[in-house]
Amino acid sequence: VMSPFIGYAIIKEDFKLALIMLIVAGVTDFLDGLIARTFPNQASRLGSFLDPLADKILITSLFLTLTYSGHIPLPLTLLVVSRDFVLLCAGIYIRLLSLPPPRTLRRLLDLSHATAQLSPTLISKVNTAVQLITVASTLAAPSLPFPHEDILVLLWYLTAATTVTSGFSYIFAR
């Protein structure tokens, strides 16, 4: 929900506001997950699908806007977005194959019929954390009173490494 607002703040180069909104989004996402785990009757199949989708929309929009504004290199953003796109396509394909006939768009989109379960791998969770740390550090960097370029470059390489590793983890785990 906050993705377009954070993206707008980034485009306007209001990095403090963008960082505050990112923190709020992270806290509310954490609380939502905590409630779903603590009170299983509050969890839903739709929520278990929408939550990771919302996370990917947030990450994608942040990387795209930070690249557009010249703060994250284009090759890194292409890597992050491409990995998520390939995983999304693979998930749709696996779901389509696992649907019993007739395979229709309506049945494909009907989440009440679980046909395949894809659980995030540990490296994928680490990757998401590294990506968020990279984005948060990039947003905080203009306010830092010390040189931070080397730290950001290190985070870019770490993000690239975890993105590639997590992508391969899905390929070899399935």
User: Over 60: is that where the pLDDT of 174 sits?
Assistant: no
Report the range out of 14-23, 26-35, 47-56 with the highest average pLDDT. Answer: 14-23
pTM: 0.86
How high is the pLDDT of residue 143? 83
How many residues are recorded in the chain?
Answer: 174
* Residue 123 lies in domain: 3-173
How high is the pLDDT of residue 115? 64
How high is the pLDDT of residue 78? 98
How high is the pLDDT of residue 108? 79
Q: Name the pLDDT band for 45 (thresholds 50, 70, 90).
A: low
How high is the pLDDT of residue 118? 65
Compute how many other C-beta atoms are within 10 angstroms of the C-beta atom of residue 137. 17
- Summarised one tens digit per residue, pLDDT across range 66-97 is 999 999 999 999 999 999 999 888 888 888 88
- Summarised one tens digit per residue, pLDDT across range 24-35 is 999 998 888 888
Task: Tell me the CA distances in angstroms from 34 to 37, 40, 42, 69, 133, one per residue in order.
Answer: 5, 10, 10, 34, 21
How high is the pLDDT of residue 103? 84
Residue with the bigger pLDDT between 152 and 104: it is 152
Please give the radius of gyration of the chain, using alpha carbons only, rounded to the nearest integer: 18
Secondary structure (H, E, C), the chain: CCHHHHHHHHHCCCHHHHHHHHHHHHHHHHHHHHHHHHCHHHCCHHHHHHHHHHHHHHHHHHHHHHHHCCCCCHHHHHHHHHHHHHHHHHHHHHHHHHCCCCCCHHHHHCCCCCCCCCCCCHHHHHHHHHHHHHHHHHHHHHHCCCCCHHHHHHHHHHHHHHHHHHHHHHHHHC
How high is the pLDDT of residue 84? 92
What is the count of structural domains for the chain?
Answer: 1
